[in-house]
Structure 1
Amino acid sequence: MDDNKLLPKLSQNLLEILDDEEYYDITIEVGNDPYVKIFRAHMVILSYRSPYLRRILSANKKKNDDTLTHIKLPNISPEIFQIILRYIYGGRLFFEELDTFDVIKVLSAASELYLQELITYLQFFLIENKTDWMEQNFDFVHQTSFENDAFSELQKYCTDLISKEPDKIFKSQNFSSIPEKLLVSIVQNDNLQMDEIQVWEHVIKWGTAQNPELPSDVENYSDDNFNTLKNTLRQCIPFVRFYNLTSKEFLDRVLPYDQILPKELYKDLLKTFLSLSDPNSKPINKSKPRITKGSNFGVVRSAKRKAKSGRRIIDKFDSVYGSRVEEFYD
C-alpha cells in the first residue's frame, strides 16, 4: 500500500485547522502600514515547520504569561504570507494568481523563515519553467540570487548563463539598463564563450546607451564626448582582453575609440598590432584566452541537468500532497 495516498486528506485537514477560528493561540501581524493584516495560527505547527518562527516563539514562551502570543513580520506582504502559511500547514502551493515576480517574493519569504524545502522547490521550479522570463529579467534575478546564499541553484543558473550563452544577456531588450557591476562581472568572466570583438562592441553599446547625448557616429565625437564615454566605461575597459583580437579587429573597431583607452595600454596595443604582418593574426601569449563558442556547452542543457534532481523534488512534492502547479507553467 502506498502510504503517500493518505497524505492529501491530512493536508486538507491541516488547512481546515488553519481556517478554524476557535483554537488558535498566536496572531501574526504581517506587512507595513497601511498594508497590514493579522493572521491567526498555532504555535506548535509553526514551531515545527519554521526554524525562524521556532526561535521567535521560544523567546515569547519564556515570558510565561497568559497573554496571546503576537509576533510581527514586517518584511513579508500579507498576500505572500498567505501563500507561505498555507504551505506551512498543508504542504501545498497556490500559484493561480501569481506572476513570476511574486514567485520570487515567495522564495525570499521562504528564505526569511528558513523553509529549506520550499526554497529548493521554488528554485528548480523557476529554472525548469521560467527560463525565458529570467533571461528577460536577468538583472533582477542575478541581483536577487546573489543577495542570498540560500539561492545557490539560481546563482549557478546565472553564472552558467553569463558564461555559456552571453548573447541572451547582451541581445536582450534590457541589456542597456543592466547595472555597471553586472556588466563588469560578465566582461571579466574567464569562461565567457564569446569572441573578444563582440565583448568590446557590447561594452561600447552599453556605454553609449548610458549617454544618449553622444553622436551616433564616433567620427563626430568631440574631446568632451570621448571623456564622457571614458568615464562611463572606466571600470569595464581593464577587463576587455584586447590582445585576443586580430590586428584587423583592433585597427577597424578599437582604434576609433583610442581616446577612451589608458595611454600606456593604447601605446602597447598599437605597437603590438602594427607589428603583426597578417591582419587576421593575433598576438601570442599576450592575454589569457576565453573559452571559445565551439565548446560543447549550453546553459539550457546545463540547467536541465541540474534540474533533473529538482524535477524529482517537484514530482515528489506534488505526488505526496496531491497539489499540482502545472497551470502556472508556460
Structure 2
Amino acid sequence: MTTQFYNRLSNDLTQLLESGVNCDGSIEVGEEDVSLVNIYKVHSIILQSRSPYFKKKFDEITFNENHVKVLKLPNISVKEFNIIIKYIYSGKISLEKLENSVLFNFLIASNELELDELVEHLQYHLVNNNASWLRLNFAQVYRTSYQVKNFKIIRDFCNDIIAKYPNTIFESENFHSLPEDALVSILKQDDLQLEESKIWEHVIEWGKAKNPNLPTNLDKWTSDNFLSLKRTLKGCLPHIRYFSFSNDDVVEKIYPYQQLLEHQLFSDITIKFIAPTKPISSIVLPPRKILKTILPTRIIPIPFASNIITNEHALEISSWIDKKEIPYIENNPYEFKLLVRGSRDGFDVYTFYNICDKVSKTIIILKVEGTGEILGGYNPLEWENNIDQWKVTKDSFTFSLKTANMKNSILSRVDDSFYAIYNCPSQLDLSFSSNLCLIDNLKTDKSCYCEEDTAYSKPIRSSKFLSASSEFKTDIKSLFSVEEYEVFKISLRK
C-alpha cells in the first residue's frame, strides 16, 4: 500500500514560491506599460517539469549577468497568471469567485502555456457550471473552440447546441466570420435540425461574405464570379445533402448556382428530379435525421438574480421540484423570485421568518464558509413566524449542488413526511429535520449543522462534516457558518 502526502507537498512548494529562495527565473507578466507588469521570481526546473511550453522557453533563454533567465508573457493578465503560478506549484485551484469572462480567458491562457490538465478541468467546469454564459456568448465561444485544437469538450458542447438549434449560429451576426473548418463540422452533422435548402442558403451567404466584390445581382455574375465562390466553398459543397431537396427547391435554389457543382453531380440532380427511380453515379448522402417532435424555441436564459447559484443550478432544482428523471437543460418552467439575501437583509433566522411569513414554495440556498459547498432545501409549505411546529409534507427535499470541487449534486428527498420541516421561530431554528439545520445567526454564530438523519434519504455533506447525532452538536468540525445565503419564492412562469 502506498501512502500519499500530497497536501504537505503542495504546501511546501507553495511556501517555496512565496519565499523566493534559489529562484533562477523571472517572468514578466502583463502589457508593456511598466505600471501594468508584474514580475514573478520562479524556479525554472519546476515550471519546466510542469509545462512543455516553459520547458521549451527556458531551454531557449540564456542566463543574464545575475544568473537569471527572464521570460516575458505580455498576452496574459496578472490576474490569470496569479492563479496559474499557484496551480503550477501547488496543484490547487479555486474558480468560484471568477467572472465567466475571466474564466474563459483563463482557459485560453492555460492552453497557451500547455497546461493540459488545467485546460481539461476548466472546460468541464465551464460546461457543467457556466453553460448559460457559454450560450449567451455562443458565437465567440464556438469560433474560439475551433481556433484552439485542445478545446474539444467545449466544441462538442457547442456542436450539440447547434444540432438542436442551428439558427443559434446560422442567424448570428458573427456567422460570416465563422472559420471554414467550423462550418464544415456543422454541415457534417447528420442530426442538424434544419431543412437542407435552408442550410444551402446559409452556405451560399457565408461564401458570398468571403467574396465581397461579387455582384449583388446574380444575373450579372460571370463565370469567374462563380469560380471564385466555388473555390471558397470547396470544403463545404461535398457535405450538402442535394438529394434531400424538394423539387421546388431544386429549381429555385440549386439551378441558379449550378456552376458551383461538378458537371456529373448537377446532371444526377437533374435526373433524380425528372426520373426519381433512375440510377445515378454520384454519392448520395443520407438525409438528415430530423426529429419528429418539434424542438421548443430556444429562449436566451434570463439573467439569474443570485450571487450563489447559476442558471444550470436553477434548472436542476426545478427538475427536482417536478420529479424529472432527466433534468431540464433550458427553458426553466419556474421563476425564482429573490426574497432574502443575507448580505442585504441580514443573517438572523428571525429575519428569515419575518420576511417569509405565510410564503410557500421556497428554496433556501446557502454557501458554506470555508468549504465553498452550496447546500439548500425546498419547502412546498408556508413558513410561519408565530408558531413552533413540525410541518408534514412528502415533497420537500435537501441538496448539495455541484461545484468545481464537487463533481455531482446530491439530492435527498424526504422519507418521513411527519418530520419533513421544523418551523421554530422561538428558538431561531429552521430545519429540514436534522438533514439540514439552520440556527441563530447563520454568519456569526457557527451553529448550523447536518446530521445522519432517517427523515431524509441520504446525507448532503461528506461524512467528515456530519454529526453522528444531535448529542454532538457542539462537535466543532461538524458545525458551520454561512458565507452567503438566499431564499427564493418558486412560481410557474406566466
Q: TM-score, normalised by structure 1?
A: 0.66
Equivalent position of 1:39 in the other structure: 40
Secondary structure, counterpart of 2:40 in structure 1: strand
Deviation of residue 194 (structure 1)?
1.9
Residue equivalent to 1:29 = 27
- Comparing 240-249 and 154-163, the one that deviates more: 154-163
| CA distance 1:55–1:177, change in 2 (3 Å) | closer
2:135: which partner in 1? 132
Where do residues 111-130 of structure 1 align in structure 2 (5 Å cutoff)? 111=111, 118-128=118-128, 129=130, 130=133
Distance 1:294 1:135 in 2: 26
- Name the amino acid aligned to 2:140: N
Q: Which residue of 2 aligns with 1:272?
A: 272
Unaligned runs of 5+ in 1: 1-6, 60-66, 278-284, 306-310, 325-330
2:288 equivalent among 287, 290, 298: 290
> Percent identity of the aligned residues?
27
- 1:141 counterpart = 2:110: no
Q: Distance in 1 between matches of 2:153 and 2:190?
A: 21
- The structural deviation recorded for 1:71 is 7.0
- Pair 1:185–1:271, CA change in 2 (3 A): same
Cα 1:23–1:186 change in 2 (3 A) is same
Determine whether 1:208 maps to 2:208: yes
Instruction: Tell me the CA shift for residue 143 of structure 1.
Output: 1.9
Once structures 1 and 2 are overlaid, which stretch shifts more, 74-83 or 172-181? Answer: 74-83
Tell me, in whole angstroms, the C-alpha distance in 2 between the residues paired with 1:55 and 1:142: 26
- Give the greater-gyration-radius structure (CA): 2
Please tell me the root mean square deviation across aligned C-alpha atoms, in Å.
Answer: 4.7
Task: Write the distance in 1 (CA, Å) between the matches of 2:327 and 2:287.
Answer: 22
* DSSP 3-state at the match of 1:186: helix
Q: How far is 1:197 from its partner?
A: 0.8
Could you say which residue in structure 1 is the equivalent of 2:406? 316
Relative contact order, CA 8 A, sep 6+: which one is greater? 1
**Rounded Cα–Cα distance in structure 1 between residues aligned with 2:144 and 2:160:** 13
Distance 2:55 2:181 in 1: 36
Q: Distance in 2 between matches of 1:122 and 1:93?
A: 11
Specify whether residues 162 and 142 from structure 1 end up closer, same or farther in structure 2 by C-alpha distance, changes over 3 A only: farther
Q: 1:51 to 1:97 in 2, by over 3 A?
A: closer
Other-structure match for 2:246: 246
CA contact (8 A) 1:218 1:257 kept: no
Gaps of 5+ in 2: 1-6, 60-65, 278-282, 299-311, 313-325, 331-400, 408-460, 463-480, 484-494
* 1:224-235 matched pairs, under 5 angstroms: 224-235=224-235
The structure with the largest strand share of the pair is 2
Equivalent residue, structure 2, for 1:81: 81
Contact 1:196 1:245 in 2 (8 A): yes
Structure number having the greater helix percentage: 1
| 1:260 CA displacement | 2.0
8 Å contact from structure 1 (residues 50, 114) kept in 2: no
1:113 to 1:132, Cα distance in 2 relative to 1, 3 A: same
8 Å CA contact retained: 1:188, 1:239: yes
Q: For the structure 1 residues 221 and 248, does the alpha-carbon distance in structure 2 shift closer, same or farther, using more than 3 Å as the test? A: same
Give the letter for the 2:139 counterpart: Q
- Spell out, residue by residue over 1:14-64, the C-alpha distance to the aligned partner (whole angstroms, 9 max, x if none): 9787555x65645432459957753135789x57x94769989xx9xxxxx
Q: Per-residue displacement from partner, 1:151-184 (whole Å, max 9, x unpaired)?
A: 4422321332343332211111111111222222
What's the offset of the Cα at 1:137?
A: 0.9
Distance 1:51 1:121, change over 3 A: same
Letter in 2 for 1:169: I
TM-score normalised over the length of structure 2: 0.46
Aligned twin of 2:353? none
